[in-house]
Amino acid sequence: MRQSTLLIPTLREAPADADTASHQLMLRAGMIRQVAAGIYTYLPLGWRVLKKIADIVREEMDEAGAQELLMPAMQPAELWQQSGRYSAYGPELIRLHDRHGREFALGPTHEEVITTLVRGEVSSYRQLPLNLYQIQTKFRDERRPRFGLLRGREFLMKDAYSFDADAAGLEIAYRRMYEAYHRIFTRLGLNFRAVEADAGAIGGEGGTHEFMALVDIGEDTVVACSDCGYAANLERAEQGRRGASFSLDSSAASSDKSEIESLHTPDLHSIEELTAALGATANQLIKTLIYKADNGQVCAVCVRGDHEVNEIKVKNHLGVDSVELADAQTVQKVTGAPVGFAGPMGLTIPVLVDHDVAQMPSCITGANKQDYHLAHVRPGRDFTLTQVGDFRNACEHEPCPRCAEGTLHFYRGIELGHVFKLGTKYSAPLGAKYVDRTGQEQVMMMGCYGIGVSRVMTAIVEQHHDANGVIWPASIAPYQVHIVPISVKDEVQWDLAKMIYDRLRQAGIEVLLDDRDERPGVKLKDADLMGSPFRIVVGKGAGEKRIEFKERGTPEAASMTVDEGITCILNAVNKM
Amino acid sequence: MRQSTLLIPTLREAPADADTASHQLMLRAGMIRQVAAGIYTYLPLGWRVLKKIADIVREEMDEAGAQELLMPAMQPAELWQQSGRYSAYGPELIRLHDRHGREFALGPTHEEVITTLVRGEVSSYRQLPLNLYQIQTKFRDERRPRFGLLRGREFLMKDAYSFDADAAGLEIAYRRMYEAYHRIFTRLGLNFRAVEADAGAIGGEGGTHEFMALVDIGEDTVVACSDCGYAANLERAEQGRRGASFSLDSSAASSDKSEIESLHTPDLHSIEELTAALGATANQLIKTLIYKADNGQVCAVCVRGDHEVNEIKVKNHLGVDSVELADAQTVQKVTGAPVGFAGPMGLTIPVLVDHDVAQMPSCITGANKQDYHLAHVRPGRDFTLTQVGDFRNACEHEPCPRCAEGTLHFYRGIELGHVFKLGTKYSAPLGAKYVDRTGQEQVMMMGCYGIGVSRVMTAIVEQHHDANGVIWPASIAPYQVHIVPISVKDEVQWDLAKMIYDRLRQAGIEVLLDDRDERPGVKLKDADLMGSPFRIVVGKGAGEKRIEFKERGTPEAASMTVDEGITCILNAVNKM
């Protein structure tokens, strides 16, 4: 395309309200513009990229045997009432009334619609399995839309739903999607990890992975092994192998036969204050936190002073929907002391003890008495170890819980997609049943599989840019080649540029020709910003049919003949 | 694809609530399912067709120099308030509030968003012209959704917007879209006419064509010439050439020197009653109707007894927004008689006289006196002809208003798309201006160009079906070839069917293989219903490598060898 005919409004400066590299660059390169908070127009350049991402997703979904369809954005509220999500979804669900006063939701996801559809059309085991997907605009009224396309209120999503006769079928469908996602994100040039994740609000019966792009602006912490494929969200990551992470020598420590010693610790509440005052290290202390579950149950959780309680693990252990730190009044009531002096000894509430605490030879804990702590406390001797488990976050550099050699590393990540085993969460309440081989009625087993298509674009830009602009992977570049004649008024330059343009287009390559009468600096800056993988500058050498060829992301341009340049590009494109 | 793996839920019977052939067939062929009134899911088969239609639209838009982008469905209400449409659009505009109470509209069209975008990004004549389009889900809360996809509340639309420096530029953009639309609807296999249309509520400064598919279920009447390209909506069509349509011989008639005669016509109100009682023909009578405009103005309109008043023409002549028939009280007041006895003689309100009335040599009219009519009334002699014009609908078989030879014919039509010259209707209130060559600020000239993509699918099915199912044009068939082995359990048949399937797919052809263990009658009925252009039946002749080849829509299948059948298909597909 000739650049002068296109709407690519580049900006010299990053707008003040854009606070991530990807958001700034997408605005500066003329790819997107905000219409309202979290609501964007994709300009021609951005839309070309988004379409290419969607096409790669579509190809791999089709290849994996999924069938594309399109469901409506407007969903009758009754469907959401049947699944029980109409109230549960909260203010993120956009609701509206039609002219007759009937309630609708704008779909943030389509479990209700697809399950109702399949309930109506599928009745026999012979019609299963099915995997149905769509690439569609979704709506979610985020409380704080931010980071450009990363957390928007209207966004493009691929959502797939599998229907199987039994758990074995679901396992196959899930695995097939898991592998398709690997292919998709690899083709998109992303550095990603598939991590074990907690099922969260969407629910399901276990078995869920999130595909995370590893980027600095990540909203989540990804824990991954240096050696094996193990990776998990921090909220889900298991702690390292027992014992291996423990820095004190347990045989030496077990010789500590000292009696418990009472320490006067006025105004020392935090681990930091205690270690400083007592000359101890954090891993010699027990941190005891009092939690209250949504069912009213109160318990204590003990982790080592250098560890963090993982509330998801506590909640899952208790079998409740949520837990939160108890208020000061409750703490006073169950420990007999204000916040900051709790310890496991003498408590009458359940005490959840982390594995690493159970292995401590001797430790310092709160005395359940204002301004006092206790030293030389020995787990098992001085308090019982009836509920020992994994109640803490994994730590960086600790041994991998899965393999023999690896250690855990932490990364920032953003979610690109996820795969979920839903089981019968929707098929049971919505009545999606089939008749099996023996004539028995059975509830279908479902999975759901999402990819945030517009979010993926953000992740790609975060991973592929430099100070001057985007560096597109060739698979999704809006144009593969950018031709920049230094002066369009110089006939020799212009004719040569035009000739290269025509030849590359005839070879099926997408070429952007900068035919604008602008200063060379402006044009080269724009080219870097837009980030085509290959740039050809036609300047003074045009008379000798020489050009400057440069791959975006490499520091130096190379002078070569036109034929050499075209060969370079054809070779590179054929390799893609 | 193997049919057993696909969700194509065909139905033997047409659902009771589907009242048009296209709606019935799309449901029966398993292409669509209703989610709520006017809101549909496109099942895999229907979605394949819709994507192909969208791709043809996209190719021709790109070819015409338009650039694709994507604007959001959620539009801030403020934009609609600025254009003045927020209240004017009425209940068809779906409105909602976000979690912060801010008002939004779900876009039924995007003039406000695109004009605001271009206002912000374009400031110089050097950035013009521009033509920006999207293919996007639109929302319109129809009072009575019906005919399946024809009048839906959520539907797929292509909308394009052109921005030019001046009227000459707009003319070029308009013409380019007009021609692109011709190519699009031709490629889609549609029988259509581009008709002159009234601008309607969307407004604009004149210059609008509707592209109408000629189908029996059409909601509009299309008037088209048998010889030249003239076509118009009935509301807009000009009446035939003066004089030529008049059945009485004017020279003979002008010899009627008779004096006016008063006729006692008690209880004779209608043209039918009068002609029956008086032994006259309707074209000897003047029909006089009293209209009231929205500004309060009252006038009489006279057309011949066999003609119909065209209110759009009356409204345009008066320069008002709307007219309606006056109530009985007003008629009594201005004519001195009850409804049914009005005539042009002696009225003190303006009298709009249709051309054909002005040419009548002698006629019968109401006497403006209860129970009386007048005969031998002569226009020009007995009432003045100060406001003569075209105030009636065109009539079938009358001469074409444009060419010398043709006559007008009437068709039922449904709108596929339209092209509008908007002029400055949106650019002026929303402030979309640019600086011209001389440094002067100018308002941009806009056009808008819509195609109802899902509506187009309905029109295609209406025009391409028989009693057994759809007959897809090859350009948009979900699968080009349908292979039906009579028995999948017969190894010879199955192996041959599979071999043909593989060979055609390797040649890049989209093939559906009916691998279901169903009775032959069921499979052949389904194949007809789904309407692939070519069908290959593999039956008893499989041992001799013979098949039955049939083009959908032709009555007879032909027996031939596999190689002949494949050659037939390859030839046909290459010709497309």
Query: Is the pLDDT at A358 greater than 50, yes or no?
Result: yes
Nearest residue of chain A to residue B90 (CA atoms):
A99
Phi, psi of B282 (to 5 degrees): -60, -30
Residue B524: what pLDDT? 96
- Interface contact A99, partner B, CB < 8 A: yes
| Min Cα separation A575/chain B (Å) | 23
Enumerate the residues of chain A whose CB falls inside 8 A of the CB of residue B95. Answer: 96
Tell me the CATH number of domain A250-389, given options 3.90.960.10, 1.20.1370.20, 3.30.43.10, 3.40.50.10490: 3.90.960.10
Residue B19: what pLDDT? 84
Residue B573: what pLDDT? 81
Where in the sequence of chain A do the CATH 3.90.960.10 domains occur?
250-389
Q: How far is the C-alpha of B114 from the C-alpha of B103, rounded, in Å?
A: 19
Span A202-255, pLDDT tens digits:
444 458 999 999 998 888 899 999 888 888 888 888 887 655 444 444 444 455
Q: How far is the C-alpha of A120 from the C-alpha of B32, rounded, in Å?
A: 13
Question: Which residues partner with A34 through β-bridges?
Answer: A40
Residue B254: what pLDDT? 53
Of A69, A125, A131, A434, which to mutate for an interface test with B (greatest number of B Cβ within 10 Å)? A69
Mean pLDDT of the A419-435 span = 95
**Would you identify the CATH topology of the domain A479-575?**
Rossmann fold (3.40.50)
Inter-chain residue contact A69 with B9, CB threshold 8 Å = no
Superfamily, domain B17-238+410-461: Bira Bifunctional Protein; Domain 2 (3.30.930.10)
Enumerate the residues of chain A whose CB falls inside 8 A of the CB of residue B7. Answer: 67, 69, 118, 121-122, 127, 130, 132
Residue A251: what pLDDT? 43
Mean pLDDT of the A366-374 span = 94
pLDDT-derived band at B199, boundaries 50, 70, 90: low
3-state secondary structure of A200: helix
Inter-chain residue contact B91 with A99, CB threshold 8 Å = yes
Residue B250: what pLDDT? 44
Q: How far is the C-alpha of A226 from the C-alpha of A411, rounded, in Å?
A: 12
The full DSSP string for B32-89 is EEEEETTEEEE-HHHHHHHHHHHHHHHHHHHHTT-EE-B--SEEEHHHHHHHTHHHHT
Nearest residue of chain A to residue B63 (CA atoms):
A1
Inter-chain residue contact A35 with B71, CB threshold 8 Å = yes
Return residues 23-62 of A near B (CB < 8 Å). Answer: 33, 35-36, 39-44, 46-48, 50-51
Residue B14: what pLDDT? 85
Span A108-161, pLDDT tens digits:
999 999 999 999 999 999 999 999 999 999 999 999 898 899 999 999 999 999
The full DSSP string for B114-169 is HHHHHHHH--BGGG--EEEEEEEEEE---SS-BTTTTB-SEEEEEEEEEEESSHHH
Among A331-340, A566-575, B70-79, the minimum mean pLDDT is found in: A566-575
- What ipTM describes this predicted complex? 0.88
Nearest residue of chain A to residue B11 (CA atoms):
A121
Distances (CA, A) of B90 to A421, B84, B412: 44, 12, 28
**Would you identify the CATH topology of the domain A3-205+421-461?**
BirA Bifunctional Protein; domain 2 (3.30.930)
Span A123-134, pLDDT tens digits:
999 999 999 999
Among A191-195, A235-239, B66-70, the minimum mean pLDDT is found in: A235-239
pLDDT-derived band at B526, boundaries 50, 70, 90: very high
Q: Indicate the DSSP class of residue A73.
A: S
Where in the sequence of chain A do the CATH 3.30.930.10 domains occur?
3-205+421-461
Phi, psi of A271 (to 5 degrees): -55, -40
What mean pLDDT, rounded, does chain A reach? 92
Find the CB nearest B141 among A68, A98, A139.
Answer: A98
Residue A242: what pLDDT? 59
- Interface contact A117, partner B, CB < 8 A: yes
Among A383-387, B145-149, B201-205, B354-358, the minimum mean pLDDT is found in: B201-205
Q: How far is the C-alpha of A242 from the C-alpha of A359, rounded, in Å?
A: 9
Q: How far is the C-alpha of B256 from the C-alpha of A58, rounded, in Å?
A: 79
Q: How far is the C-alpha of A195 from the C-alpha of A174, rounded, in Å?
A: 14
Residue A255: what pLDDT? 52
| Min Cα separation A218/chain B (Å) | 25
Contacts of residue A208, defined as CB under 8 A and 6 or more positions apart, other chains included, come to A196, A197, A198, A199, A418, A419, A420, A421
Query: Is the pLDDT at B202 greater than 70, yes or no?
Result: no
- Interface contact A168, partner B, CB < 8 A: no
Span B535-550, pLDDT tens digits:
999 999 999 999 999 9
Amino acid at the residue A418? H
| Min Cα separation A12/chain B (Å) | 14
Span B458-516, pLDDT tens digits:
999 999 999 999 999 999 999 999 999 999 999 999 999 999 999 999 999 999 999 99
Where in the sequence of chain B do the CATH 3.30.930.10 domains occur?
17-238+410-461
| Min Cα separation B65/chain A (Å) | 8
Span A551-574, pLDDT tens digits:
999 989 999 999 999 999 999 887
Where in the sequence of chain A do the CATH 3.40.50.800 domains occur?
479-575
Amino acid at the residue A132? L
